[in-house]
Amino acid sequence: MNYRGSCHCGQVAFEVEGRIDGAMACNCSICQRKGSLMWFVPRDQLTLLTPQSQMATYTFNKQVIQHHFCPTCGIHPFGEGTDPKGNAVAAINIRCLEGIDLAAVPVKHFDGRAL
């Protein structure tokens, strides 16, 4: 399945390939504030449709996750990082995908604050 996603104003747009079998809600200091529902995919399943330079990027703490957001509308469509094996992954905020029934996606609550 191919999904299309974007920020609110469209300055950041992308396509992502895969099957959404669940999403993660995290209570760490940034996820709690963003309210995103994350779906993790290998980074190569994500294709940006807009220039990388149109996104702003926020990092904090160990600087290992790049939290991308739109500098115009402020929406956070996805982040990038690596899994424990060192593979590049993207954390897609499924709230930014088109044509998705959010209520049908099982949500797992992750205690990121405890890390």
Residues that bind Zn ion (CB under 5 A): 7, 9, 11, 70, 72-73
Closer to Zn ion by CB, 9 or 49: give it.
Answer: 9
Query: Cβ 32 to Zn ion, closest distance in Å?
Result: 22
Residues 43 and 73 sit within 8 Å (Cβ to Cβ): no
Listing DSSP states for the chain in one string gives -EEEEE-SSSSSEEEEES----EEEE-STTHHHHT--EEEEEGGGEEESS-GGGSEEE--TT--SEEEE-TTT----EEEEE-TTS-EEEEEEGGGBSS--GGGS-EEEE-GGG-
Closer to Zn ion by CB, 3 or 77: give it.
Answer: 77
Query: Cβ 93 to Zn ion, closest distance in Å?
Result: 13
Query: Cβ 9 to Zn ion, closest distance in Å?
Result: 3
Closer to Zn ion by CB, 11 or 45: give it.
Answer: 11
Query: Cβ 52 to Zn ion, closest distance in Å?
Result: 14
Closer to Zn ion by CB, 11 or 66: give it.
Answer: 11
